[in-house]
Structure formats: C-alpha cells, structure tokens
Structure 1
Amino acid sequence: MEIRMLRYFLVVAEQQNIAKAAQTLHITPPTLSRQIKSLEESLGSDLFIRESRQLELTESGLFLKKRAEDILELNDKTEKEFNDSKQELLSGHISIGCVEADNSDTLALMLEEFVAEHPQVTFSIFSGTSDDIVDRLDKGLLDLALLLEPISTEKYHKLILPREEKWGLMVSTQSYLASKNSIQIEELPGIPLLCSPREEIQEMITSWDALQNKKLNIVGTYNLIFNVFSLVENRVGSALTIEGAMANRDTSSVKFLPIVPEITTHCVLVWRKNTLLTPSVNQFVEKFIQAFQA
C-alpha cells in the first residue's frame, strides 16, 4: 500500500463519489476507479458498497479509513519534523545488516562520512548470513541491509551498488591448486568443495553453463567464511566464495583463485517497502542514492 493510494481512498471515502473525488485529486474518474479497484484487489476485500449513487464504506473500508488516517497523520508529521530538522542537527540511530563482501568497505566509508556530517547520529552493524539479516530486517530489527545477489528482493526497495563481487575458489597454499592464478570453471566438478547452503547460491552455481549436467563434489556447506579457513587450510575442501569475503583476514595460509571465465555478482542495499523511515535512516538512504543511482 502506497501513501498515494491511501490518500486516494480517503478522498473517495469523504466525497462518496468517484467523479467528485477525481476532480479534487485532479485525475480522471477511470484512473481513480482503477486505483481503488487495485487497492481492493491487493487487500482482498471490497472497501465500498456500490449499490447506490453514493459510495458507502464496508466494514473493511471503515477499518482501513481509521488506519489510513493514522498512517497519513504519522507520515505528514514525520515529513514536517524532517523538514523542520534540516536546519538543525540530525540525530537518531541506524541499524544495518551487512554480509561479508567487498562492498562492506563501501558501507563503512559511507557511514564514516555520514557520522562526520551528523555527529549526533549513532549506528549499529549486524554481520551475519543473508538469511539471518533478512529475518531481522523483516522483523523490523534492522533499518537497512547490504546483501549479496542472487537474493530475493520483492519485499524491498533496492539499490544496486556498482562495484562487482568476483567469484572464485579459496584454496590452501599447500594444495596443488595454489600453483594456479585462476581456476577454470570446468575444473570445479573434480575438486572437493565447500559452499553456501543458500538455495539462491546453489541455483546460481548449477546454472553456470559449463557445469550443466555435471555433479559437483560438495563435501560441506558454510554460512560465514571465517568458519572454513581452517578447513581450507587443512585441505578438507576448497571454498566457493567471493573475493571480498576474504578481505581484512589473515590469508597467509590460503589463496583466492578467480573463476575463469569471470563470474561476478553485485551487492544491493535494501530496505522494507511500505515502511516509514526515520529522518536519519531516510537521509542515509538518500546519501546512497545520490552517490550510486544512475
């Protein structure tokens, strides 16, 4: 439900007539009728009784009217407070989930700049698996999240970050593979592998053309890369990962081999749809959009 749709609904409820409401909203009656019908379909319930010239609210319509009035009041109040505070010091708290990736540094740099610009803003970063982060985001425990594609983002607004994440193999320096500077994708089926258990990642790997109809030797799965450093070092298996996940770690006993032909994905900044962001979170999102949106 968009704020715009709620405003349309309230005007129709007040005017009790599509034509009058459309005139007030400066749109055509057919357009307004389609918008109201779309709202009813998305909610799975009729909002108006259409048996007379005047539209009457159903029980569902009465319920939505009260909720819509509350939501719009809060929205208008928040926008006013945000605009009023532009001339003042921005304050508040931002909770962010972040996967292990090269773009984690991008997030850190943006936070560093933002806090320098708004010293009264505080933040917390939750690092974990994509599943853990998405769960906390859905529960409202996080405001934003930096996730690695492929990931389902239908429920979220998303901003694709431009820096690509390169896929490859983390191998032991004691392995025969360490003499290589890259790994051909056709070689993967013959190597004991450690990889993410995420369904999206598994599907991505099996969709690579060179691996069609070939079975990978997956000896184990992992959620966070630091859990498998010792397993890789001791040659239990080589880990399929992105290069950025190994950043800022002791890599003296392991080596990253990029996959050839090169395979890359992106990180995305996401936040929940139909959720009112606090002024500090909204300003931080705007900073990202201004920096990276084409």
Structure 2
Amino acid sequence: MELRVLRYFLVIAEEESISKASEVLHITQPTLSRQIKELEEELGAELFIREKRNMTLTKAGQYLKDRAQEILSLSDKTTQEFMNQRKQLFSGHISIGCVEADNSDTLSMILEEFIADYPEVTFSIFSGTGEDIVDKLDRGLLDVGVLIKPISTEKYDYVSFPKKETWGVLVEKSSFLARKWTLEPKDLIEVPLLSPVRKEVQEMFSKWMNKDINELNIRGDYNLIFNVFSLVENKIASALAIEGAIIPRQDERFRFIPLNPPLQTQCVFAWRKNVVFSPVVQEFIKRMNDAFKV
C-alpha cells in the first residue's frame, strides 16, 4: 500500500467524484480509477459505492479513511522532523578563501545551491593571493580555499575545476605589444613585466619562456590585480596575469593578450589533510567532491 495511493483515496473521498479528484490531483480519470481499483483488489474490499454522479464510502472505505489520515499524518510529521533535524545538523559557518580568477563563479554556483539546501548555514569569503589563502588555511583561519595550480599536494586534498584559466599579458593600449593577437616568448624578451608574487607562478612562466627567472625583465611583483592597472596605464610595466582576473575590470585603456603557445592552469578547491572539520564543512567538501571529482 503506497502513501501516494492513500492520498489519492482521501481526495476522492472528499470530492466524492473521480472527475473532480482528477482535476485536483492533475491526474487523468482512467489512471486514478485504475489506482483505486488496484487498492481495492489489494485490500480485498470495495471502498466506494459508485453511483452515476458521485461516490460514497462503504464501511470498509470509512475505516480506511480514518486509518489513512493517521498514517499520512504520521508520515508528514516524521518527514518534517527529519527536515528539522537536518537543519539543526547543518547549521554552522564556512570560511572560504578565493583567488581572483574566472572560476570564482563556479564557487558561487555551488555555494548558492548549498545555501538553498541548508538555509541555516552562513559563510564568509576572503579574497586574496594564493599565499594569503594558503597561510590562512595552514593556521586554521580558513576552512577551504580556491587556489590556482600549481599547489603543494603534501598538505592538501583538492579537486580541480574543469574550466581552465588562461594566462596572458595586460598591456597599455599604445604599447607596441597591443598590436598583437597573441604573445610568443620572443615577444617578451627584455619587456618590463609585473609578475604575480607566487614563486610557483614565476617558475611556470620561466619554463614557458625557456629562460631562467633571473634572465627575465621582472620589474616587480604584485599580490592583487587592483593596483596593477594604474602601473600598466603609466607604462611602468606590462603585467602577467590570468584572463579571469583581468576581464571584469578591463576597459578601452588596456588590452589583454593571451600567450602562445597557450599557458593554461586549473583552479582547485583545496582543504587541509588530516583535519577534523565541522559537519557543515564536511558536507560542503563532499558537495564539491561529488560535483568535480573525476
């Protein structure tokens, strides 16, 4: 005996008509009639006296009506109790670090779904460089973080986002580089550059250039992209950066030119190994794992 069919039965008993009940339930009359007939066969008793214009309950039908109301009431109460328990279990706070990248919207999408499922959960977002986020992860000030590869695999578990981040150079519009659609290593020899402060990124760029980092004309480094725009505009240097951090702020004063051959990296969602997290953080990590783990 299915709860769904008991609900159908109660609506028919209340409406005293298959046609009216089918309109309430948005089910075709033949389907509804068949469901009730199968219920009667299962119970071995007629539940309705069927007349031309209406249906009334038999004694067996009246008995089932009383029992069905009790059963469905208990079912609804049990479901609500589990929902309340879930809200209590998954109320808490998540602290998230996030680099400036195109994959920020991926994090936002998953977080939006998570908060919809667990409305009692609160969160805080810390925006910073990879070094800032790693430092706060290590000190336990952040639960999880969105970082750009390469990252250490010794201290962290992580899943990779599918969307890749494209590296290029932000140049001032009158720069001779601005006439190019892509930039090859030969184009950047001796060009004054600003580089992200992360050592791993500088080593990656050095490998792409096929030159030692000390041979490159790195005028300075930076942590966040905000101050880079004025430095580029004033022609102090062009800036190595990812497209996802540049595009939201770019205007006609600048051009972002991708590298060729393409230099792309992935963003990862990372958390410390061998740490006991709160239930809400564990569930959020599980959600990320389910969404992106290959």
TM-score range relative to shorter protein: 0.5 to 0.7
1:236 aligns with 2:236: yes
Structure 1-normalised TM-score? 0.68
8 Å CA contact 1:174–1:233 kept in 2: the answer is no
Superposition deviation, residue 221 in structure 1:
1.1
Change (3 A) 1:261 1:214: farther
The answer to whether 1:191 aligns with 2:191 is yes
Contact 2:203/2:213 (8 A) holds in 1 = no
Q: CA distance change for structure 1 residues 194 and 285 in 2, over 3 Å: closer, same or farther?
A: same
SS of structure 1 residue aligned to 2:95: strand
Aligned with 2:223: secondary structure? Answer: coil
Q: Which AA in structure 1 matches 2:86?
A: E
| 8 Å Cα contact 1:146-1:268 kept in structure 2 | yes
Match in the other structure for 1:286? 286
State which of 64, 82, 88 in structure 1 corresponds to 2:86.
88
SS of residue in 1 equivalent to 2:164: strand
Structure-2 residue corresponding to 1:165: 165
Counterpart residue identity of residue 181, structure 2: N
Instruction: Mark the CA change 1:100 to 1:213 in structure 2 (over 3 Å): closer, same or farther.
Output: closer
* Identity, % of aligned positions: 52
For the residue of structure 1 that corresponds to 2:86, the secondary structure is: coil
Q: In the alignment, residue 170 of structure 2 is paired with which amino acid? A: M
The Cα shift of 1:180 comes to 1.7
Equivalent residues in 2 for 1:1-294, closer than 5 Å: 88-89=86-87, 90-208=90-208, 210-211=210-211, 215-294=215-294
Q: Is contact 1:158–1:269 with CA below 8 Å preserved after alignment?
A: yes
In structure 2, distance between residues paired with 1:266 and 1:251: 25
1:196, distance to aligned residue in structure 2 (A) = 1.6
* Structure 1 residue 243 displacement after superposition: 0.6
Partner Cα separation in structure 2 for residue 86 and residue 283 of structure 1: 17
CA–CA distance in structure 2, aligned partners of residues 240 and 209 of structure 1 = 12
CA distance in 1, matches of 2:84, 2:161: 27
CA contact (8 A) 1:186 1:210 kept: no
Aligned to 1:67: none
Q: Secondary structure at the match of 1:91?
A: coil
Paired position in structure 1 for 2:20: none
Alpha-carbon shift at residue 293 of structure 1 (Å): 0.9
- Deviation sequence 1:113-154 (CA, Å, 0-9, x none): 111221111000001111111111111110001111122231
* C-alpha spacing 1:286/1:141, structure 2 compared with 1 (3 Å): same
Retained in 2: the 8 A contact 1:97–1:127?
yes
2-structure distance, mates of 1:193, 1:164: 23
Q: Which has the larger radius of gyration?
A: 2
**Aligned 8 A contact 2:165 2:265 in 1:** yes
Residue identity in the other structure for 1:254: F
Number of residue pairs matched? 211
- C-alpha distance in 2, partners of 1:88/1:225? 41
Q: Secondary structure at the match of 1:262?
A: coil
Shift of 1:112: 1.3
Relative to structure 1, is the Cα distance of residues 145 and 258 closer, same or farther in structure 2, using a 3 angstrom cutoff? Answer: same
Asked if structure 1 preserves the Cα contact closer than 8 Å seen for 2:202 and 2:213, the reply is no
By how many angstroms is 1:87 displaced?
A: 5.0
Q: What is the rounded CA distance, in whole Å, between the counterparts of 1:142 and 1:244 in structure 2?
A: 23
The secondary structure found in structure 2 opposite 1:275 is coil
How has the CA–CA distance of structure 1 residues 213 and 132 changed in structure 2, closer, same or farther, with 3 Å as cutoff? closer
Task: Identify if the C-alpha distance between structure 1 residues 129 and 212 changes in structure 2 by more than 3 Å, giving closer, same or farther.
Answer: closer
> Can you give the 5+ residue segments of structure 1 that lack an aligned partner in the other structure?
1-83
Q: Secondary structure at the match of 2:248?
A: coil
Q: Which secondary structure state, in structure 2, belongs to the residue aligned with residue 289 of structure 1?
A: helix
Q: Unpaired runs of 5+ in structure 2?
A: 1-81
RMSD value, Cα: 1.9
